[in-house]
Structure 1
Amino acid sequence: MITTINMVKNVLAVLMESSSRGIDARKLEKGVCEVERVVVVHPLHIWSITTSKVLLAFHVTIVQEADFDVVLDQVIEFIEKEFNINDVTIHIEREKAPK
């Protein structure tokens, strides 16, 4: 009975595309912001599509002179290492130059 209840909770969470339990969004955002040349992360979306597969999507603003590919590689490496999330969509944009 207990196993069935837990399974139903997991299935409902997947069907509702709820935020994945066990993923600390604040820690993830803070860690990405600590990657060199990252200015800000916004909006951060984390959801489960199966009981074992988590998806992540967000925008990253980087400093003007940063190399897109280098920052992208560092962000993905951090997410895979710290959170074991392999399915990530990241939109990178440059910080606006001062006028």
Structure 2
Amino acid sequence: MNAKEVNLNTYKDREHEYEMLNGQLQKEKDELNRQYKQLQDEFDRKISNNEELEKLHAKLKTESLLKQQAVNKLHEIMNRKDPRETGKGKSKVSNADLRRKRRI
């Protein structure tokens, strides 16, 4: 009987140790799951930020191209206006000369 009681107490002690070990392992597992979830969320945010950054780069390139086209068009228009203005300026001068000649 005593031997059986000693064995029973030994097994109860082992059971208690295994339960404590199981509890510790469960806590570690829960902590690792929490860390994994945090890392996954951070990873998802970074991927989202990278996608947003790529979209913004594409938008920047598009806007830069449009601005360059607008500048080129404005430059072209200004170059076209220069000969007209000089022509108009000459014709105005010549019109003024013609008026003076008529008065005299």
TM-score after normalising by structure 2: 0.22
Higher helix share: 2
TM-score after normalising by structure 1: 0.23
Higher strand share: 1
Please identify the structure whose Cα radius of gyration is greater.
2
Higher relative contact order (CA 8 A, sep 6+): 1
